[in-house]
Amino acid sequence: MTSFSPIACLALFVCAGAFASAAEITIEESDNGAVVKIDGKLFTEYVKKSGTKPILWPIIGPTGKAMTRSWPMNPDAPKTEKRDHPHHRSFWMTHGSVNGVDFWSEGDKAGSIVNRELTVLESQPPKIAAINDWQTRDGKKVCEEHQTIGFGADEARRWIDFTAVIEATEGPLTFGDTKEGAFGVRVAETMKVDAKLGGKIVNSEGQTDDKAWGKPAKWVDYHGPVEGETLGIAILDHPKNFRHPTPWHVRTYGLFAANPFGLHDFANGDKNIDGKHTIEKGHTLSFRYRVLLHKGNEKEGRIADAFEEFAKEK
């Protein structure tokens, strides 16, 4: 493990199982946090503070095009990008009710996720490790999060392996039942189904578009046009995750989130269902996802095969 310094830089060659193909991955310090490059070109940046949380933005796909929306991070984003949901910031981990605190939105009463430490793990493939404190609006610590984020690429795909371990450091910790959570991305504006340009949502169970909302699935793929070609983002839910296969808060307007807690909301308010979950002080809850950026639709991106490979990993 190496702490960032003004000249910190890690360069490694990636070769990972079925995704095998050499690509030079570098991670180096930036003013905002840490920049990740593939073969010398920008892949993404870990931004320690954007709004009320750390995020990854931009995220550049396998053909060199941005695959998540740029607003509100870029105030000069094209006017074609809808100015809705300013808390949907590219790639993030939050939840709408943690001991009653809203970490999902950015309203007056919302909490904030504050990065306390950022390091590089000297391993293959290269990874970022972050420690974040989840705090109330007045700065009271609610819990602690340890993120590990790995990166890889081959000729046709790029991927981000995201792991979050949330620890109940201050006392019992309850994740409330709300659809507003938890690990998510916001796809590029032209990819969303509502743009009516060919965007499509498909999950592992064959459900599509609005029929995939709230449904449990091993993976979901969101693909559509980006600057003249079809590209896709798939999120794979690791089988060891809490409540796998997770329900998905995936919307035709571009939101794409895995949420194992929103069972009541996803069941249209069924009073017999409560998705809240409590862990005791000193205990942890872990989440692991692979975000796969690919060419074409879910079949061309071989998403089902990619999930089987991911599922075999410890």
pLDDT tens for each residue of 160-204: 999 999 999 999 999 999 999 999 999 999 999 999 999 999 999
Torsion of CA 17, 23, 27, 30, to 10 degrees: -140
Task: Name the one residue in this structure whose structure tokens are 């993030």.
Answer: 92
Residue 3: its pLDDT value, please?
52
Please give the average per-residue pLDDT across 274-287, as a whole number: 98
Tokens of 258: 């895995």
pLDDT one-digit tens code per residue, 241-270 = 999 999 999 999 999 999 999 999 999 888
Residue 214: its pLDDT value, please?
97
Q: What percent of the chain is modeled with pLDDT above 70?
A: 93
Task: Name the one residue in this structure whose structure tokens are 């690919």.
Answer: 294
- At residue 250's C-alpha, the angle toward residues 175 and 302, to 5°, is 115
Q: What percent of the chain is modeled with pLDDT above 90?
A: 85
Residue 121: its pLDDT value, please?
84
Class of domain 2-312: mainly beta
pLDDT one-digit tens code per residue, 302-314 = 999 999 999 998 7
User: Contacts from 118-121 at CB under 8 Å and sequence distance 24+?
Assistant: 118/4, 118/33, 118/34, 118/46, 118/48, 119/1, 119/2, 119/3, 119/4, 120/1, 120/2, 120/4, 120/8, 120/10, 120/27, 120/34, 121/1, 121/2, 121/148
Helices (H), the chain: 263-266, 303-312
Give the count of alpha carbons within 13 A of 200, CB side only: 12
Map out the domains of the chain as residue ranges: 2-312
Please give the average per-residue pLDDT across 139-143, as a whole number: 98
d(CA 36, CA 128): 9
Tokens of 163: 């792991």
Q: Do the Cβ atoms of 223 and 187 come closer than 8 Å?
A: no
pLDDT one-digit tens code per residue, 97-116 = 999 999 999 988 999 999 99
pLDDT reading at 11 higher than 70: no
